[in-house]
Amino acid sequence: MTDKVTLYHRTKLGQVKVWSIWYDSKRFVIHRQWGMKDGKMTQTKETIKPKQGQTAEERMIRMVENHITARLEEGYVLKLNNVRQSILVRKHEIDFTKLPAEFAPQKPVREFSPIASRDYIFQRKRDGQRHFVLVTDAGAVRLYSRKLEDKTDHMPRIVAALKALGLPACTVLDGEIICDRDGEDDFRSTGTVCRAGAAVGARNEKGLPLKFMAFDILFHDSKPVWQGPYKQRLQLLREYLRPGIGLPEQLTLPECFDLFSQAKLKVKKHKWEGLVCWDANAPCVLNMNGKAARAGCYKWKPLQEGDFVATGWEPGKGRLETTMGKLKIAEWQKGKLVQIGTVGSGFDDDTRDAARHWKYPLVVELEYDKQEEDSRALRFPVFVRVHPDKTPDELR
């Protein structure tokens, strides 16, 4: 029996969560235990068997290491004394002269599963880069990237437009920088400003239809409005960003819908990237540990499906180093098979093992977010199945 590893974490409600793991090296059993400090603990055990050329002991040790790594990445710590007293924002942690590196507003939950008892506000998801706006205690406007890098000098036109709004000091907005070309998002051009140096970014901004789309307000006149329901925060935003005469062209609000069915039709009709589905009555979860929680809103994307040619496979890494990690994907272009990328998601262990013995090339069905027009690369591809009834030549 190995020594028990115990980790600690602060929950959103301020309680301390305890998580432990250990394994039995003779019986090849992994034990896990978790619960609230000084409260009832839940315990499970899992028997590990040899698989894919790995002994039970090798698999067990690898799984324990992966579990511990995952918890540490979530913000768990090894010593109880190192657990933050609170992960919620306290007044002394934001002095409104700059945003601290630990500032971490919530991110969307990856999949939308509507709950009938809740009200939602549906917004068009844009393909841009997340940024925060701070109106300092002295009234200056600062622009920060998602990684809390100061980007104020990169986008002087957007900063000037934000100044014209007349937002009070000690205000923080959450939003996205988008390059809006007649309703279509040009993500690559956005990067020529946001990812460049300040001088190059400012020069590129002059020739681009760049906008700041504000989708949330976290502080207003030093008041923590993030603690209130989203529908109130959105209404407050609308009081400043009223469409029509007087609103600078560099600023915008998200397109909103009350009905999911209506929003989905718009996405399909205009080929939008997807939706952000906000819980209208939920507060924001604002952490000050550098780890953004997934809460308050959800992402929904319409997946596309298509048949492509798999030309071979690449070995994986870690536990997959002895089997298939990714399939090489190609499509016909002007009579030739051209490689357009790889797919590594959607496989179970049996399929990965079988893929080493398939006869290539062959036809596979994939789901994906979108296909880039120039490179033809697939965004977020997922393997669905092999098509033994089709040949690669049929896809010409």
The pLDDT of residue 332: 94
As a whole number of angstroms, the distance between CA 231 and CA 283 comes to: 9
Which residues contact residue 41 at a Cβ distance below 8 angstroms, ignoring those fewer than 6 apart? 18, 33, 34, 35
Indicate the SS3 state at residue 100: coil
Q: Are 316 and 301 in contact (CB under 8 A)?
A: no
Domains of the chain with bracketed CATH: 5-82 (2.20.140), 92-300 (3.30.470.30), 304-395 (2.40.50.140)
As a whole number of angstroms, the distance between CA 255 and CA 107 comes to: 19
Q: Which one-letter DSSP state was computed for residue 116?
A: T
Determine the distance from the C-alpha atom of residue 171 to the mean position of all C-alpha atoms in its chain, rounded to a whole number. Answer: 25
The pLDDT of residue 199: 96
CA distance to 127, 155, 195, per residue, from 189 (Å): 11, 13, 10
Q: Which amino acid is at 112?
A: F
Q: For each of the chain's 396 residues, which pLDDT tens digit applies?
A: 567 899 988 775 567 889 999 998 888 899 999 998 878 889 999 999 988 788 888 888 889 988 988 888 777 888 877 675 544 555 446 889 999 988 999 999 877 877 777 899 999 999 999 999 999 999 999 999 999 999 999 999 999 999 999 999 999 999 999 999 999 999 999 999 999 999 999 999 999 999 999 999 999 999 999 999 999 999 999 999 987 767 899 999 999 999 999 999 999 899 898 999 999 999 998 988 888 888 889 999 887 889 999 999 999 988 888 899 999 999 999 999 999 999 998 898 899 999 999 999 999 999 887 788 888 999 889 899 999 888 999 898
The pLDDT of residue 93: 64
The pLDDT of residue 66: 87
Which residues contact residue 129 at a Cβ distance below 8 angstroms, ignoring those fewer than 6 apart? 145, 146, 176, 177, 190, 191, 194
Q: Which amino acid is at 280?
A: A
> Within 10 A of 240 (CB to CB), how many other CB atoms are there?
19
Q: Are 296 and 279 in contact (CB under 8 A)?
A: yes
As a whole number of angstroms, the distance between CA 301 and CA 110 comes to: 10
DSSP strand pairing (210-219 vs 251-252): parallel
Tell me the CB-side half-sphere exposure of residue 269, using CA atoms within 13 A.
7
